[in-house]
Structure 1
Amino acid sequence: MQIDANKRSSIGNLRITGSSTAAGGLYDRVKIVGEGIVEGDMKCQHMKCVGTLEMEGDLQAGQAGIVGTFALTGNVRSDRMKNSGTVSISGDAVIGTLTGSGTVEVKGHLQGNQIALHGHIATGGDCEVDEFHLKGMFDVGGLLNAGAINIRIFQDSTAKEIGGEKIRIRKASLLHPFSLFFRPSPHAKLVVSVIEGDDIYVEHTRVNVIRGNQVVIGPGCEVGLVEYKVHLEKKKDAIVKESRKM
């Protein structure tokens, strides 16, 4: 999101230091240091929160940085968001690039170009991006869809369906550096109904159906049915109840 240069020179900034409440509106830069409440929709070029921010309305921000806690009752649209804490969005979110560490919860749908996060992602609906890179855990209420999916599972994770071109799902090593939020569990497992893609590799996953061209079923997997076009490989101790070449 870009604000015209002429308009930027004519609009003000919003800064909250300590504890205060402010009205929404159009701003160039928004900075919260402490505890802030913003009442109403807000549009800005840059937003930074160090502390706690509660918003009652929708947010449009070119760039947003969260260090602490950010809770919003509406929808979010941002070109870039970096989170180092907890973000809770009651509506839908369209975020071009989402990076950082911590927890991001979107009760509606999440869309964007790239997610590269160390932490926890939860959506009530679908999560659709071009690239999905996660070290941590996720709970997707609908479809997780991305061209490239690369996941290291730290804790139990769930999704209704997963779809993509190249899918890599592995359990994190117990020696893997852990975040401040949680460390890898030796029993971490992904539970999902359907995984569909071109090139698929999964570990420690319980899934009803996998469909793909090149499919590798790694250790710790329990699969009801694999449908493949080109190649199927099953690693030691993986369970595949039924497989068929399409």
Structure 2
Amino acid sequence: MGIDANKRSLISNLKITGSSTAAGGLYDRMKIVGEGIIEGDTKCRLLKCIGTLEMEGNLQASEAGIVGTFALTGNVRSDRMKNSGTVSISGDAEIGSLTGSGTIEVKGHMQGTKIALKGHIAAGGDCEVDVFNLKGMFDVGGLLNAGEIDIRLFQDSTAKEIGGEKIRIRKASLLHPFSLFFRPSPHAKVTVSVIEGDDIYVEHTRAKVVRGNQVVIGPGCEVDLVEYKVHLEKKKGAIVKESRKL
């Protein structure tokens, strides 16, 4: 979705330093240092925000970097986004690669290729990516689905369902918080209705059903029903009310 290099010389840049309002449109590079308001749908190659940015409309950006606070009323499409702050999206988000440390909240659905984040992810609908790598907490109103899921749990987290090929949910080390704002709780749990995958290992998880080929129910878990095809292992401190081989 990038802008053709031959056309970049014909497209203007936008720079806000201090506090200002600008119109949306087509830009090559956008840089906000301070407080900015962008009114209207916007497409750009590079968006960089250091401070506070509010956008009214939809955003398409090949690359976006946020240090501070970014709020948008529409949908977002971006090949790469690095978030070191707080991002709030009122619509849907399609982000190829999401990295960084911070919080991202999407009121609609979220999809992409890879999430590698330290912090908090919230999606009102589904969250579907190829790789979901999170150190922190999550709240997904629908399905959290990825080929590979690796979660280090810091705080209580929820999803309606979790699905994937390889699923790992483990408590984060209490000795290694990654910031003053995101510190692991010894009582953190995941609450989910159904977990389904091929290779599953979960800790400190409350689930109605866990279904897979290879299943390990780790310490701190409480599961109503485990359905497995090949192997089931229950660790010390885990509660499985019923198990069934398929």
Fold conserved between structures, TM > 0.5 = yes
Matched with 1:238 is: 238
- Deviation, 1:179, is 2.0
Alpha-carbon contact 1:118-1:179 (below 8 Å) kept? no
- Deviation, 1:129, is 0.1
Matched with 2:192 is: 192
The yes-or-no answer on 1:87 pairing with 2:87 is: yes
Alpha-carbon contact 1:122-1:138 (below 8 Å) kept? yes
Matched with 2:16 is: 16
Q: In structure 1, what is the Cα distance between the partners aligned to 2:100 and 2:169?
A: 20
Q: Which amino acid aligns with 2:121?
A: I
Q: Which moved more, 1:175-184 or 1:85-94?
A: 175-184
| 3-state SS in 2 of match to 1:67 | strand
Q: Which moved more, 1:173-182 or 1:199-208?
A: 173-182
Q: What TM-score, normalized by structure 2, do the two folds share?
A: 0.99
Q: In structure 2, what is the Cα distance between the partners aligned to 1:52 and 1:98?
A: 19
In the TM superposition, what whole-angstrom CA distance separates every residue of 1:16-54 from its partner, at most 9, and x where no partner exists? 000000000000000000000000000000000000000
Q: Any runs of at least 4 consecutive aligned residues in structure 1 with deviations exceeding 6 A, and if so which? A: none
In the TM superposition, what whole-angstrom CA distance separates every residue of 1:48-102 from its partner, at most 9, and x where no partner exists? 0000000000000000000000000000000000000000000000000000001
Matched with 2:181 is: 181
- Deviation, 1:119, is 0.1
Matched with 1:53 is: 53
Q: In structure 1, what is the Cα distance between the partners aligned to 2:5 and 2:186?
A: 53
| 3-state SS in 2 of match to 1:7 | helix
Alpha-carbon contact 1:102-1:181 (below 8 Å) kept? no
Q: In structure 1, what is the Cα distance between the partners aligned to 2:237 and 2:25?
A: 58
Matched with 2:44 is: 44
Q: What is the correspondence of 1:121-160 to structure 2 with a 5 Å cutoff?
A: 121-160=121-160
Q: Which amino acid aligns with 1:137?
A: M
Q: Percent identity?
A: 86
Q: Which amino acid aligns with 2:135?
A: K
- Deviation, 1:199, is 0.1
RMSD: 0.6
Return 5+ residue gaps in structure 2 as ranges.
Answer: none
In the TM superposition, what whole-angstrom CA distance separates every residue of 1:186-244 from its partner, at most 9, and x where no partner exists? 10000000000000000000000000000000000000000000000000110000000
Matched with 2:108 is: 108
Aligned pair count reads 246
- Deviation, 1:5, is 1.6
Matched with 1:163 is: 163
| 3-state SS in 2 of match to 1:8 | helix
Q: In structure 2, what is the Cα distance between the partners aligned to 1:175 and 1:223?
A: 28
In the TM superposition, what whole-angstrom CA distance separates every residue of 1:147-176 from its partner, at most 9, and x where no partner exists? 000000000000000000000000111112
Matched with 1:222 is: 222
In the TM superposition, what whole-angstrom CA distance separates every residue of 1:121-165 from its partner, at most 9, and x where no partner exists? 000000000000000000000000000000000000000000000
